[in-house]
Structure 1
């Protein structure tokens, strides 16, 4: 597998070790070590007993060619200090060359437009979110690393305290020769409105990714996207109804009911909840009646969150073949 990455900081002949490990550029040694151990356990051949020989080989290449060198560079005091100096200079260079910077991901563009007070929070939240599944799909891992490196690129430019003047050319390059007009300092109301708009944009990104994953039946990853969306906006009825649908498809009926109920409390007209909750309530009623009011249990005697396959199949019009 080709491990070449040509986006983000990599595009400037710079190896973005922070992107390889998926840690913020200001991560300390303790955080670096913790993240490295997590990735190493995920990629080490001995930890992938069920993987094929080819999959183990690819995982070993990631570990040997990218992950181990990144950790060695960032964990040693001298090499890390040298690396951070180069990284700082890279940020200043990018600000000067902002008109030629290309961004390919929504997250990077959202970070460009984030109000100054929210940059650090949104950047680290995005990094932490991506880290959860960074190496779940090794064929997609180079693309994920490129996405992280774009976030690092924007964060470096924002940290240089010069991005605001260059920001229009970064977001929408233009040939207009009209000199830029000075930007008035934002008041607290404008800043709050910008922060809200940025959070809304992040939320929509989580929802879009979740819906795409649901269409592909990648339910566990869709669940993670929606859980993170709910951390950002706990009272969003759309997120509650979507994660309820994910739980329903996973046959986790009790969790589905909780979130359908939450969605309808927040928005009595939520279409997804109105469509599925009556079916779920009916199915749970049938299950309860069939069991004579006794909750289903697993072999250990603990109450189960799941029902039988027949019940789940009935909700979706029969079992999939």
Structure 2
């Protein structure tokens, strides 16, 4: 009598929302944006694995079975795919293909969660990453809500990949790909652009200008003026800086473990996000210094100090490279003048045995 409820309880790993209704959404399974670094993927996977491990929190027998199923059929397959370079790249290629096919079919795919509808009305990278992170914090706190939160992240991922392929909801001549089931309170509808402004919604450069104009709106809780571009830019910078700070903490762990390879890879990715981050450049210099690349280390430290003359890490390590002030170049020491006159040898009694021998063999040696 007790076997039937258990079997029914284990027939649950099916998500009919977002990307998951068309293909496996491995990023949603781990609660990650689809642009996440593979190094951070491992960090998140280990955190989830510790939560779902059946022996950690003293689950009941039924809960252990459910947690084991989530770990084995949802989390582990996602980690196995996303941590392999070739498979991850091929998997990300599926996203672009899926987005293009959906726009060609012009089907109304329902978007149920309010947070995904908000992203649909105001698409931008910062709002997307912030929304995924907010859901991921509670995704695995309760076994009963895992599928619900995973579905919400998968909806966010679907909105995002369409947005990256040029889709914007409500723009004239745009196919009706997504259908929001909820209208957010802060929903913003773009102005009615003339048909000439959107001749080809997928490739036309004019459309790109329309898209950038539409993206200037970002709903915020404390915003008093939705047209204040300065406030919006500041919010995006705060979000971006927070992500960079989190990733630099991971880099510090790699450096403390002398894992120079992973530290170098992660730091280079951070520099792609912000090439003028003085701390990142200083940490990069430390990696170069410890991998026998003193010239590259010196360049990184100098660049870091140009951006922030008080960067402590750069100031500490650049002294070891023989130049405490990167802006001051040491003047080359004058070379001694070469004289054509031969120096006379000391008296024989003051020479060593080898000098006497060489002096004896030289016909020009004064006796």
Contact 1:88 1:156 (8 Å CA) reproduced: yes
Inter-CA distance 41–180: structure 2 relative to 1 (3 Å threshold): farther
Q: Do structure 1's residue 181 and structure 2's residue 195 form an aligned pair?
A: yes
The CA deviation at 1:136 is 1.2
- Runs of 4+ aligned residues of structure 1 deviating over 6 Å after TM superposition are 187-190
> What per-residue deviation string (whole Å, max 9, x for no partner) do you get for residues 217-249 of structure 1?
xxxxxxxxxxxxxx99xxxxxxxxxxxxxxxxx
Q: Residues 32 and 75 of structure 1 are in contact (CA less than 8 Å); yes or no, is this contact kept in structure 2?
A: yes
Match of residue 66 from structure 1: 74
2:115 is the counterpart of 1:107: yes
- The 8 Å contact of residues 30 and 45 in structure 2, kept in 1 or not, is answered as yes
Alignment check: 8 A CA contact 2:32 2:132 kept: yes
Q: 1:199 to 1:69 in 2, by over 3 A?
A: same
**Equivalent residues, number:** 191
| Unaligned segments of structure 1, at least 5 residues | 174-178, 203-230, 233-321
Aligned partners of 1:45 and 1:56 also within 8 Å: yes
Q: Aligned partners of 2:120 and 2:149: how far apart in 1?
A: 19
Aligned CA RMSD, in angstroms, stands at 3.1
Contact 2:108–2:179 (CA under 8 A) maintained in structure 1: no
Determine the structure 1 residue equivalent to 2:248: none
Q: Deviations for 1:150-171, whole angstroms, at most 9, x for unmatched residues?
A: 0000000000024354276634
- In the superposition, the TM-score normalised over structure 2's length comes to 0.47
**Would you say the 8 A contact 2:19–2:154 is kept in 1?**
yes
Query: What SS class does the counterpart of residue 55 from structure 2 fall into?
Result: helix
Residue 97 of structure 1 is matched in structure 2 by 105
Contact 2:102 2:177 in 1 (8 A): no
Distance change (3 Å), C-alpha of 1:91 and 1:188: closer
Determine if contact 2:168/2:211 at 8 Å carries over to the other structure.
no
| Contact 1:23 1:128 survives alignment (8 Å) | yes
User: What residue number does 2:129 align with?
Assistant: 124
CA contact (8 A) 1:17 1:70 kept: yes
Contact 2:28 2:157 in 1 (8 A): yes
Q: Secondary structure at the match of 2:110?
A: coil
1:95: Cα distance to partner? 2.6
Distance 1:190 1:4 in 2: 35
What are the equivalent positions in structure 2 for 1:35-46 lying under 5 Å apart?
35-46=44-55
* Matched residue SS, 1:163: coil
Larger Rg: 1 or 2? Answer: 2
Note the C-alpha offset of 1:46: 2.0
Structure 1 equivalent of residue 27 of structure 2: 18
CA distance in 2, matches of 1:187, 1:40: 40
More helix by share: 1
Are 2:7 and 1:7 equivalent residues in the alignment?
no
